[in-house]
Amino acid sequence: MRAASIVLATRNRGKVAELRQVLEPLGVSVRSIEDFGDIPEPEETGRTFAANARDKALYYAGATGQWCLADDSGLSVDALDGAPGVWSARYAADAAGPGASRGQIDAANNARLLAELAEVPDDRRTARFVCHLALAESGRVLLEAHGTVEGRIGHEPAGENGFGYDPLFLVPALGRTTAQLPPEEKNRISHRGRAVREFVGKLQLLIQSGPDRSG
């Protein structure tokens, strides 16, 4: 596989760290969108993770002139009819207040989720993390990948690793939340890890099939 250079269309440092850990050992040069100055964030109007990922990848590819990899991911809780879904990152952003940090918004999101599930028994707290990835160059989507992981929502946060809803997302087979897993183990079982592994296979074929337009 020839070297590829990809811009990650996110300012979420947790996502950047996870994707770098998987992609850079494969010879993929990974840059953050923050390396390109103050590009305004696009409005997320898609009703699905796939639609949002495509829109973000195309937007940032056009803004940077580079291959851009965007993901849209979140939590789908069965007892809440799939919520927070595509609104996962901003589920309780209003409660966190203007100018809140990512950590403060995450805490507000988790608090709202626990409040809404307060009367829901364990057997109905089933949920899944979903990740959809899209790689684009200016004007077109080059490839997409998808991953999920099943679990349930705990009754209180546990663990110091990860971000977002990780402290509440219990993987029953492991008896731990994803925030209690070391990064390598989380990447192995996570929705994003699974999507990235599918993505890497497709990326290898893409690079091998034509001229290197990745940098």
Residues annotated as catalytic are 72
User: What residues contact residue 205 under an 8 Å CB cut-off, 6+ apart?
Assistant: none
In eight-state DSSP terms, residue 41 is: P
Smallest CA-to-CA distance from 200 within 10, 17, 24, 7 is with: 24
Locate 53 and state its tokens: 């990922």
Q: DSSP string covering 103-129, please?
A: HHHHHHHHHHHHHHTTT--GGG-EEEE
Locate 114 and state its tokens: 């626990």
User: What residues contact residue 19 under an 8 Å CB cut-off, 6+ apart?
Assistant: 8, 30, 69, 71, 192, 196
Q: Do 94 and 150 meet the contact criterion of CB atoms below 8 Å apart?
A: no
Q: Can you tell me the distance from the alpha carbon of 6 to that of 22, in angstroms, rounded to the nearest whole number?
A: 13
Helix (H, G, I), strand (E, B) or coil at 211: coil
